[in-house]
Amino acid sequence: MAIWHTVRPLVAAMVFGAGLVGALSAQAVTNPPIHMAHGIEYMSGGIGSDEARFMETISPRWPATLEFATQDHKSADFAADVRVTVRNANGQAVLDHVLAGGPFLVARLEPGTYEVEAVLAGQTLKQPLTVHAGTGTRSVFLWPAHTDMAASNARAPL
């Protein structure tokens, strides 16, 4: 019985430590790099389920989130390798032909009205985007299914 009192804290520390290490390694998702264009910070990512969860988690902390996908009548696929241009209300490009390497692009845009142009496999979609102070704005760009099969990385419902 005396040995159990000595060993029990050691076993608990080993079990807790293993659980902690496992939890930390499960949380160890490498952040996609933050880029800068025309003084605007942006980050793109979401390749793989861990990185997609990471991008969805940080999205509310960024003023603008753009999400890219292809969709048919049954499901949607994330899209990557999208060229993005964001123009302010004066028509000036604040992000100019930046590459969204994953299905999410977040940007630190100032409050205001913008037009977003997203190009996937030569097909262009344009949408207005209004960024309000203190809150995140999300915009989803959906192309027809099979617009670019190579860009579809993960099957996911939107």
Domain limits, the chain: 1-30, 34-151
Q: How far apart are CA 63 and CA 111, in angstroms?
A: 8
First to last CA, the chain: 57
Question: Is the pLDDT confidence value at 151 over 60?
Answer: no
Name the CATH topology of 34-151.
Immunoglobulin-like (2.60.40)
- Hey, what amino acid is at 50? D
Per-residue pLDDT of 47-100, as tens digits, reads 999 999 999 999 999 999 999 999 988 888 999 999 999 999 999 999 999 999
Q: What is the pLDDT of residue 5?
A: 42
Stated pTM of the model: 0.75
Q: What's the 3-state SS for 7-74?
A: HHHHHHHHHHHHHHHHHHHHHCCCCCCEEEECCEEEEEECCCHHHHHHHHHHHHHCCEEEEEEEECCC
Q: Please tell me the predicted confidence (pLDDT) of residue 19.
A: 40
Per-residue pLDDT tens for 19-40? 433 444 445 567 899 999 999 9
Instruction: Choose the weakest-confidence range: 29-33, 42-46, 122-126.
Output: 29-33
More confident residue, 45 or 155: 45
Dist. CA 106–CA 139, nearest whole Å:
10
CA dihedral 21, 23, 29, 31 (to 10 degrees): -90
